[in-house]
A and B are shown apart, each in its own frame.
Chain A
Amino acid sequence: MEELFRISYPVAAADYSSAGKASADIKRRLKQLGVGGDVLRRVAVASYEVELNLVIHSEGGELCLTVFPGAVQLVSSDVGPGIPDLDMAMREGYSTANEEARSLGFGAGMGLPNMKRNSDEFDIKSKVGTGTTITMRFNLSA
């Protein structure tokens, strides 16, 4: 599909003070493009979750927004540590957030399932020591 627009946001590990900035910008841009309603609501939830995921669980990475004529795509890719047991991580309530994150009220373990629930297509690939890539698509109803 022809790509119409792409922008990426670097997200630093454990940078709690900036957490939410990338997803706020993503929302703002989609609104500027005229994307609204249910899709915007779902992208809002998923982009915030995935951004927090990068902050809390990863060693740093980036979040990339791509807009196609019929869909919005979010790709989060990090440089580690990778998820050892994906099936477990996809279960509701499971979390590996560290103490620092928990003490800030992050990492309630809703992340991945919530992303999956809110996207139309969800794909996760992870390799311990290499990193995790999450791809989500949201269809734009014409």
Chain B
Amino acid sequence: MNEEKEPILRAENISITFGGLKALDRVSLEINPGEIMAIIGPNGAGKTTMLNIINGFYKPDEGRIIFEGKERPKKMKPNLIAAQGIARTFQNLALFTGMSTLGNIMVGRTMLMHSNIFSQALYWRFSQKEEIEHRAAVERIIDFLQIENIRRTPASMLPYGLRKRVELARALAAEPKLLLLDEPMAGMNLEEKEDIARFVLDANEELGYTIALIEHDMGVVMDICDRIVVLDFGEKIAEGTPDEIKADPKVIKAYLGTAGG
């Protein structure tokens, strides 16, 4: 449905090696504006590595990233990439445990806030106004994800499922052009999964976010995604709509060939 549009992000021939292990081997993929794209594959296939490259935490040995039509310089720092409009959540939770839920989400807005250190120290006019505006925006996200009652809870005291949700809130707070979710539903029970799936869909449909997510739960993936890319041992083995992927013999083989999935 988005065929005519230019992809928001294009990764071309990405390769990266870790001490002899080829974690990604000439993988190309595109993310189109407005879609929910899924990256799936068995454990260790290189999915997280791909996200790490997209948001600049790893630098690929080969290949290039084109974001919004512009090629990304080789050594661009992750925070600048975030500032371009790429936000993410982490597979192994990376909340700031010394802060409250609110604090965590406010950090997500750091690139949108501009008052300088002197104005912050005085907490006058601009700085105060900015703080209040952004607080209001964060409250809207808190409402959206229904985490009002844990606003002030220290992140270290949240249960696992809520931590994942706060991470999602933190990523949404950045109002990114591209949202990367690394296994947002891993380890959750059915009910929690449904909640998150609904939030992801709402974020996409109501708020218009472009989303790329990694998920092992095929049911969810087939339900909510527009397009799927399948990785196996660092290579892209298939790409297409959920129906195409379900029928792809290579995918079936990759999944049957491993215990997990």
Same complex for A and B? Answer: no
